[in-house]
Amino acid sequence: MNLELSLFGPKARTLFGLDVSSSAVKLVELSSTGKGAYQVDRYAIEALPKDAVIDGSISMPEAVEETLKRALKRMSTSTNGVAMALPASAVISKKINVPAGMRASELEEFVVSEAGSHIPFPMEEVNLDFQVLGKAPDSPEEVEVLLAAARKEKIEDMVALADSVGLKAMVLDVDAYAIQAAFGLVVSQLPGQGKGTYALVDIGASMMRLTVLHDGEVVYNREQNFGGNTLTQNIMMRFGMDHNEAENGKRNHSLPEEYLSEILPQFLDSLALEVSRLLQFFFTATQYNRVDHVVLAGGCAAIEGVDELVATRTQVDTVIANPFAGMLLSSKVRPQSLLVDAPSLMTACGLALRRFDPS
């Protein structure tokens, strides 16, 4: 599901995806090759300093701006329109039913009047948007509408970041919706092509997020405190390194031998256990008792062998997310580099897909 906050005006015809995560700035630009097919024109990833972004909030604006400038230089694009995302924790979402058959102006007036009873903030402090989802499942005379509201200061921070480097924020999405859009590309590559139950486990720097789709519809979401920072902290303690040294060591494969023989295997065992626990939470909280595939995303999904360990622990077929599989690549994109980076580019890819939204 995608959601556009209308304060940014009409949908853009030319834009790229800009994902500002807790660990890196990630950019992806796609173009259409016709009939729903895409090409990866260019992408870039640039690591952020520690604590530059905390819980989705930009705590060090100058550091994030400088990192974004470096990423844009590497990206080398003439496009200045961007789709960005707020963390799901910063957006209040609510589904409501409204009478069917309203004109657009009537619907907007009705939704705004109803929003006050669903949003726990003064309306003058938030930006509000809505999206008609279709017929209400339990009432044929009504339609289901998704309300979304975000505090104005959260939106202003994102707009200010784009402005600071000469970009124009055209679309503001929710990170959970953006990653679901990219997840749809991954699921279409798997057996069943979207029919069945698929578990996406996005393992970021500090958070592991489970999203479960059944026949293309999201049926479950859960977050858990676990991520790549755990591995970084283990490296720091074992080898007496600071945060930057540990991160550089991971990226450059320059850590002492004990990293590969002890620290990394222990971390991967913990990761597989946490994935198994997330699935058990899903089975306990819903009527489902199995998933057909586990899809791993996020930076940790690029660690060699993690899919095999998770498959062994969960007894579920496990694959690494690559939303770009089957896409054409421009001459500016190195296939092997993209293959490694793909799991961490899910949100940026989902944002880049906003370029192709119907008018």
In this structure, the answer to whether residues 10 and 26 fall within a common structural domain is: yes
Q: Taking Cα atoms as reference points, which of 80, 79, 77, 150 lies closest to residue 120?
A: 150
Query: Is 241:261 a contact under the CB 8 Å cutoff?
Result: no
pLDDT in tens, the chain (359 residues): 344 444 444 454 689 999 999 889 999 999 998 877 899 999 999 999 888 888 778 889 999 999 999 999 999 999 999 999 988 878 888 888 888 888 888 888 888 888 777 777 777 788 888 888 888 888 888 888 888 888 888 889 999 999 999 999 998 888 888 998 999 899 888 887 778 999 999 998 888 999 999 988 889 999 999 999 999 999 999 999 998 889 888 888 889 999 999 999 999 999 999 999 999 999 999 999 999 999 999 989 999 999 999 999 999 999 999 999 989 999 999 999 999 999 999 999 999 999 988 65
Domain co-membership, 41 together with 137 = no
Inter-CA distances, 24 with 54, 311, 312, 315, 321, Å? 12, 28, 30, 32, 18
**Taking the alpha carbons of 268, 47, 49, 346 in that order, is the dihedral positive or negative?**
negative
pLDDT tens digits for 268-299?
999 999 999 999 999 999 999 999 999 999 98
Q: Kindly tell me the burial class for residue 53, based on how many C-beta atoms sit within 10 Å of its own C-beta (0-12, 13-18, 19 or more).
A: buried
| Residues pairing with 20 in the sheet | 25
Q: Are residues 16 and 159 in the same domain?
A: yes
pLDDT single digits (tens) 141-185: 888 888 888 888 888 999 999 999 999 999 888 888 899 899 989
Q: 28, 35, 96: which is closest to 329 by C-alpha?
A: 28
Same domain, 129 and 80: no
- Find all residues with CB under 8 Å of 107, minimum gap 6, and list them: 98, 132, 145
Count of domains for the chain: 3
338 and 298 in a common domain: no
CA atoms of 198 and 201, how far apart (whole Å): 10
Residues 11 and 62 in one domain: yes
Separation between Cα atoms, residue 90 and residue 172, nearest integer Å: 12
Phi, psi of 234 (to 5 degrees): -65, -40
Q: What's the CA gap between 22 and 19, in Å, rounded? A: 10
The pLDDT score that the predictor gives to residue 359 is 52
> DSSP characters for 249-296?
HHHHT-S-HHIIIIIHHHHHHHHHHHHHHHHHHHHHHSS----SEEEE
210 and 201 Cβ atoms separated by less than 8 Å: yes
CATH number for 98:
3.30.1490.300
Asked if 81 contacts 11 with a C-beta cutoff of 8 angstroms, the reply is no
CB-based contact 291:279 (threshold 8 Å): yes
Rg value, the chain, Cα: 21
The verdict on 76 and 25 lying in the same domain is yes
d(CA 120, CA 98): 20
Residues 122 and 261 placed together within one structural domain of the fold: no
Please answer whether residues 93 and 148 qualify as being in contact, where contact means their C-beta atoms are separated by less than 8 angstroms: yes
Per-position b or e across 125-161, b if 16+ CB within 10 A of its CB: ebbbbbeeeeebeeeeebbbbbbbbbbeebbebbbeb
Residue 312 structure tokens = 């062994």
* DSSP state letters, 66-116: HHHHHHHHHH-----EEEEEE-GGGEEEEEEEEETT--HHHHHHHHHHHHT
If asked whether residues 77 and 167 sit together in one domain, one would say yes
The DSSP call for residue 327 is -
Examine the domain organization and report whether 183 and 196 are in the same domain.
no
Q: Name the β-bridge partners of 129.
A: 148
Do 104 and 232 reside in the same domain of the chain? Answer: no
* CATH (domain of 239): 3.30.420.40
User: Containing domain of residue 20, as a range?
Assistant: 1-88+153-189+322-359
Indicate if 297 and 202 belong to the same structural domain. yes
